Structure 1
Amino acid sequence: MSRLRRMMPGRAGAFWIALFGITWLLSRYSWDLYKVFDARWIIKYPAAYQLPVESRISAFMQWLVEEAHFGLFSFRDLTRFIASVIELPYDFARNMLIDGFSAGLGNQAVDIGPSLSWIAIVVMVTALGHYVRDWKLAALVGGCFAYLAVFGQWDSAMVTLASVLIAVPIGSVGGLLLGVLAFRVPAFEAVIRPVLDLMQTVPVFAYLVPILFLFGFGPVAALVATIIYAMPPMVRVTIIALKGVPGEIRDVGVMVGCTRRQLMWKVLIPTAMPTLMVGVNQVIMLTLNMVIIASMIGAGGLGFDVLSALRRLDIGGGIEAGVAIVVMAIALDRLSQAFATRVAEDRTVDPDLNIVQRHPWSATVLIVTVVTFLMSTRLPGVQSFPEAATISTGTFWSDLMGYINVHFFDAFEAVKTAFLNYLLLPIKRFFTGIPWAWGIVLVTLIGWRVGGIGLAVLGGVLTALIVAVGLWDKAMITVYLCGTAVLVATVIGVPMGILAGQNDTANRVIGSLIDTLQTLPSFVYLIPVVMLFRVGDFSAMIAVVLYAMAPAVRYAAHGIRSVDPQLIEAGMVSGCTPRQLLWRIRLPMAFPELLLGLNQTIMLALSMLVITALVGTRDLGQEVYIALTKANSGQGIVAGLAVAFIAIIADRILTAATRNARRNMGLEA
């Protein structure tokens, strides 16, 4: 019984009650204090004392592009070299998939040969699916790519696929090399970890501003942004995978005389390959998630179609392009997962068989490619899917949204009004009323109470920096929107996770739903939300909840399933009902996992909030978006770092709270 009592997360003590009470009073009466003392600084940090970080960053970027030299070459030469290294394979991939090959420029260009036909590409991906797993995966992947052709999304999809084919190898190999270096050199790991934290917490739009400034507008700049965004998970997975290789395997490699290089590339890397492929899967999914955002600086493809449809409020076109991205994401996700779990077959090939019999799929792909190439000059429908045969669902989606708006407008408006009046606006008034000075003290006290003096200093300094650059008001709106969305996502997601953790059928259904939500690119959520609720904070909250709910569900389900069966049995022997087992044993034991899920939900919510600037929010995300439209690198970087600071503070506090919870339960020393 003593252990069960320790497992219960105790009620808020006097410290937390007093802290909340003081914060509420200051938030409620801050404007009254301002009027009584005629002191504007209570509400707004004095402009005279703001740090001129934005202007200095902009000046530095200007100097870097126009004047910086490194001996024999300038910084502009360096960026041009990087651009050319990326542009050559990208152009080849586009030519192979959609544009075709030509020689010469402009009117003097001469066609050399067409691109691969849509039939050849569908056969290729089908063969790949069968090679890595079975006919089911082959049918799924082939069907996904056939869908892109039949529903008129082929050209844009191939432009997007060309970006994926370049960004994923560069991001995966680059992340692998950095991870290997961090594994070998602990000092480098210590340096790169905070860099990875920043890369994964700085909003995506913030990447685009300096990259646009350095590389200009176009697909190369979009690819650079995509690679930077998608690489960090591969670095982390590589470090974890290499550290997870059993010591016995490493010892065997040393005993047989492997050099340090041979030990790494012939023993450790092959052993860790299944885990490394999980990192590749993450790179693929993040790359696809980036394609819409990167279209803002010239990526093209399906991302541009979604973005332009969103700008035109073209419901049907936006949903069509969004569904096409989802279909491609499903195909590539399943392929990469199959590669991660694939076990190499030890098949003995009969030497008497000819090369076609030994490699049937390779031969089939080659034959189909050659035949369709020869037929394409006479039968255009072989090269490109006939436009007259394409199916469009745009009208259906537009009519569906129109029907919903006409018949359910009052219901949606009532729900929206209720949320605004009873949830969003009260929370907004609370956070935006907190004086900046008390905000610094508040974060410092929370950090000290949860994690000690080190976390207190970190939280206080990062909060003070947000204040010192003049972004406190925007930061509080960001915290309000993120906090509200996380609250709603947790209220919905945790019960779903508990149900999934206790029921296998529910786990399969909910798991499929969450897989779908995680596969959808972030921009896709905005289209139906804007059509149903128009722009504003409520629409932003709904989009963020849908995007960020998955971790709350998954961690809750994992925590419930991970409870020690002996504790459950002890509770049943003690006469606990199923409800008592849940509230007194399962949930307390799963509390650390719930905190981890809350942490990840906050991270996803912050990343999505920057994107919701397109639907009318007035937070730090809007600052980043405005900086992007003006190509103001200083403003974009400062606002992006402010979001990153909020994410780091939340992450460190919740990580420390999780550690404390596990320690109180006796699960951690």
Structure 2
Amino acid sequence: MTPAGQIWSGRMVWAVALLLSLGLWLWGSALLPAAFDYPKAWRIPAAKWIGGWITWLVKEAAIGPIAFSDVTRAIAAAVDLPYQAALAVLADGVQLQEAGQVLQLIPPLPWIAVIGVVALIGHWAKGPGLALLMAGCFGFVAVFGQWHSAMVTLASILVAVPLGVLGGLTMGILAWRYAWLERALRPILDLMQTMPVFAYLVPILILFGFGPTAAVIATLVYATPPMTRITTLALQRVPDETHDLARMIGCSGQQKLWKVLIPTAREPLMVGVNQVIMLSLNMVIIASMIGAGGLGFDVLNALRRLDFGAGLEAGFAIVALAIALDRLSQAVAHRSTGAEPSGPWTRRHPYLVSAVIFVSIIAFLSLIFPSVQTYPDSLQLSTSTFWAAVVQWINVTFFDTLEAVKNFSLVWLLVPVKRFLLGLPWLAVVALLGLTGWRLGGWRLALLCAGLSFLIAATGQWEKAMITVYLCGISVFVAMLIGLPIGIWVAERDNWWAVTRVVIDTLQTLPSFVYLMPIVMLFRVGDFTAMIAVVAYAVVASIRYTVLGLQGVDPRLIEAGRAMGCTPWQILTRIRLRLALPEILLGLNQTIMFALSMLVITALVGTRDLGQDVYIALTKANPGNGLVAGLAIAFIAIIADRLLAAVARTEREKLGLGGAHGS
């Protein structure tokens, strides 16, 4: 068939499918009611099955004489040991309870000692600039009275990150060696990354108990997948010449892996380490719900009191830790390993010796001067009153305007879209998603899209899923509407992009719960509040990837367009945006992922979607309902991811830019 014939054939298929769907929508409710409301008698009792399976694991499952619950408690105890050690060093010291009183046997590291050590690490990694940044970030935490909470959070990070990196590295290496394992891990990693964290908090609580250890394990589930993926990808991209060289010099399999391939792939592997750090910090608030404490608990407590100022200060302390750890991990990734100095041990490890001497001196001084041990309360600063006053002033001054905007959006945008999606027949939506998958990626993508959407209906989650799609869809549309023009504007203006990057980096590391407080105080609870919070959180991805795509366009093509007499508008629309389309689509993909993750948080402000089901299941300790609702959210994310990846791949092939662009 000619290309023109293929186009007409494709259009005919779409026309017939849309006409059938329209007919079903208009007249099918009377003729085929099951197409609109999935029959209860046919529903898959997935929540009951999952709940029963978890109960069986806890009460009956055993490996010989050892109960499965004993295994999980042993894992929890093994994780708790290094956590308690880190907590003692950084936050609590060594304590003894006697006669109802807590006696401090050994104090934790003084705040000055911690700042000095992190500054030394920064100097070792990159030099005085990073040392000053590290000292500044940790000093900020101390000055604003967040030191103890920050050290509790840092203790959990120091345990979760090495375990996450080690686990991800191990699984990534195994997936690289065995193709069948990579194929088996891919859907599991997809679910781990797309399922809301709330959904698996209840099973983790049941299996591992309440407390910081369970929070660390939940963090590992959330933060390990990127390390696994990046490890596999990095090893796959090691050049063939490197493999040949390792064989020529007689390396064994283990020597080749650890002495040749891993060092060659060090830079992308450190990107994976960076991702584990950032995702672990993103988990601190959610982990506080199951006993983690620290900065996350402070933010959560402020949200319950609607104390925006206190929540913002704790949130900025998390941002400060994120910036320090992010810059440090990047510096380590790019640090050149020079020749090791010869001589005695002290000369070969000058930074370690300096750190030991410095900590010893500060520890001695802290016994004499209490302000060396603990930052003085009299020198602490606080801006919580100022921020609370700002929000109150906006609320009082612009109340009528804000209400008008809210009501207009509800009446003319949110409610009509919500009613439209809730009125769609599930059968037609499943069929159209399958057809879309077939047209974009063949029968496998068609089966995936149709199968996952059918499972949402078959488990009784269709109505809540449509509300989730409606809130996510509108929020993503608004985020792209804001992010695309900003990205286009700053892409060619280096100074503006430098400022914008600082802002979006801060927004991306600021805990998502912090967004809710001022928005709830200004707009109260409801769908509009949820939409504003999701847009504020998700717009970062649309800006970042738009700039990434536009800055990646070959300058020679732009010069060729100017030489042909193209106007600036034509260069933007016909050259730059078109060539940047795959990256922009990837940005759309990430905006959807951000929006879905934030929608679970907005269940706290009165939405009635899948996120609320997940949150209610957490409060009622119902693992079956929580996991089923979480799986439905994961299915929506996977369908969107695969379809957008297929579109991006098609666009790259049209532009001659090579193979698939990973999501």
TM over 0.5: yes
Answer whether contact 1:180 1:238 (CA < 8 A) is retained: yes
User: Are 1:456 and 2:446 counterparts?
Assistant: yes
Q: Partner residue of 1:333?
A: 326
Deviations 1:540-597 (A, max 9, x none): 1122122222232222222223334443333223221111111122222222222222
User: Are 1:506 and 2:505 counterparts?
Assistant: no
Q: Structure 1: which 5+ runs fail to align?
A: 1-5
Could you say what secondary structure the match of 2:210 adopts? coil
Q: Partner residue of 2:119?
A: 126
User: Are 1:116 and 2:106 counterparts?
Assistant: no
User: Are 1:264 and 2:254 counterparts?
Assistant: no
TM-score normalised by the chain length of structure 2: 0.93
Deviation (angstroms), 1:400: 1.3
**Cα-Cα RMSD:** 2.4
Q: Choose from 187, 192, 208 the match for 2:201.
A: 208
User: Are 1:550 and 2:540 counterparts?
Assistant: yes
Answer whether contact 1:496 1:510 (CA < 8 A) is retained: no
CA distance in 1, matches of 2:319, 2:99: 35
Deviation (angstroms), 1:502: 2.7
**Amino acid in structure 1 at the alignment position of 2:364:** L
Q: Partner residue of 2:527?
A: 537
Answer whether contact 1:133 1:338 (CA < 8 A) is retained: yes
Answer whether contact 1:57 1:634 (CA < 8 A) is retained: yes
Could you say what secondary structure the match of 2:105 adopts? strand
Deviations 1:442-472 (A, max 9, x none): 2122222222222112111111111011000
Could you say what secondary structure the match of 2:283 adopts? helix
Distance 1:13 1:534, change over 3 A: farther
Could you say what secondary structure the match of 1:481 adopts? helix
Distance 1:533 1:345, change over 3 A: farther
Answer whether contact 1:208 1:225 (CA < 8 A) is retained: yes
CA distance in 1, matches of 2:569, 2:15: 29
User: Are 1:367 and 2:351 counterparts?
Assistant: no
Answer whether contact 2:235 2:262 (CA < 8 A) is retained: yes
Deviations 1:169-214 (A, max 9, x none): 0001110111111111111111111111111111111121211121
Q: Choose from 296, 300, 304 the match for 1:311.
A: 304
CA distance in 1, matches of 2:259, 2:99: 49
Which has the larger displacement, 633-642 or 209-218? Answer: 209-218
Equivalent residues in 2 for 1:377-392 (5 A)? 377-392=367-382
Q: Choose from 403, 406, 412 the match for 1:416.
A: 406
Distance 1:132 1:76, change over 3 A: same
Q: Choose from 382, 389, 406 the match for 2:396.
A: 406
CA distance in 2, matches of 1:178, 1:121: 33
Distance 1:25 1:433, change over 3 A: farther
Deviations 1:607-633 (A, max 9, x none): 111111111111111111011011101
Answer whether contact 1:489 1:545 (CA < 8 A) is retained: yes
**Amino acid in structure 2 at the alignment position of 1:412:** L
CA distance in 1, matches of 2:312, 2:13: 50
User: Are 1:527 and 2:517 counterparts?
Assistant: yes
Could you say what secondary structure the match of 1:392 adopts? coil
**Amino acid in structure 1 at the alignment position of 2:281:** L
CA distance in 2, matches of 1:498, 1:22: 40
CA distance in 2, matches of 1:184, 1:619: 41
Answer whether contact 2:195 2:633 (CA < 8 A) is retained: yes
Deviation (angstroms), 1:538: 1.5
CA distance in 1, matches of 2:304, 2:20: 44
Deviations 1:286-341 (A, max 9, x none): 00000001111111111011111111212221111111111111111111111112
Deviations 1:227-274 (A, max 9, x none): 110000000111111122222222222111111001111111112112
Could you say what secondary structure the match of 2:289 adopts? helix
Deviation (angstroms), 1:413: 2.0
CA distance in 1, matches of 2:209, 2:564: 69
Distance 1:19 1:547, change over 3 A: farther
Answer whether contact 1:153 1:324 (CA < 8 A) is retained: yes
Q: Partner residue of 1:179?
A: 172
CA distance in 2, matches of 1:243, 1:150: 46
Answer whether contact 2:44 2:458 (CA < 8 A) is retained: yes
Answer whether contact 1:253 1:267 (CA < 8 A) is retained: yes
User: What is the percentage of aligned positions where both structures have the same residue?
Assistant: 55
Equivalent residues in 2 for 1:586-605 (5 A)? 586-605=576-595
Q: Structure 2: which 5+ runs fail to align?
A: none
Distance 1:369 1:567, change over 3 A: closer
Could you say what secondary structure the match of 1:102 adopts? strand
CA distance in 2, matches of 1:18, 1:494: 34
**Amino acid in structure 1 at the alignment position of 2:111:** W
User: Are 1:430 and 2:420 counterparts?
Assistant: yes
TM-score normalised by the chain length of structure 1: 0.93
User: Are 1:608 and 2:582 counterparts?
Assistant: no
Q: Partner residue of 2:463?
A: 473
Distance 1:557 1:26, change over 3 A: farther
Answer whether contact 2:562 2:571 (CA < 8 A) is retained: yes
CA distance in 1, matches of 2:104, 2:502: 46
**Amino acid in structure 1 at the alignment position of 2:490:** A
Could you say what secondary structure the match of 1:124 adopts? helix
Could you say what secondary structure the match of 1:376 adopts? helix
Could you say what secondary structure the match of 2:398 adopts? helix
Distance 1:597 1:109, change over 3 A: closer
User: Are 1:138 and 2:131 counterparts?
Assistant: yes
Could you say what secondary structure the match of 1:297 adopts? coil
**Amino acid in structure 2 at the alignment position of 1:392:** S
- Higher RCO structure (Cα 8 Å, ≥6 apart): 1
User: Are 1:439 and 2:429 counterparts?
Assistant: yes
CA distance in 1, matches of 2:17, 2:604: 35
Q: Partner residue of 1:652?
A: 642
Which has the larger displacement, 114-123 or 375-384? Answer: 375-384
Answer whether contact 1:24 1:430 (CA < 8 A) is retained: no
Q: Partner residue of 1:223?
A: 216
Distance 1:144 1:245, change over 3 A: same
User: Are 1:563 and 2:563 counterparts?
Assistant: no
**Amino acid in structure 1 at the alignment position of 2:260:** V
Aligned length: 653
**Amino acid in structure 1 at the alignment position of 2:455:** L
CA distance in 1, matches of 2:353, 2:475: 53
Q: Choose from 238, 246, 251 the match for 1:253.
A: 246
Q: Partner residue of 2:285?
A: 292
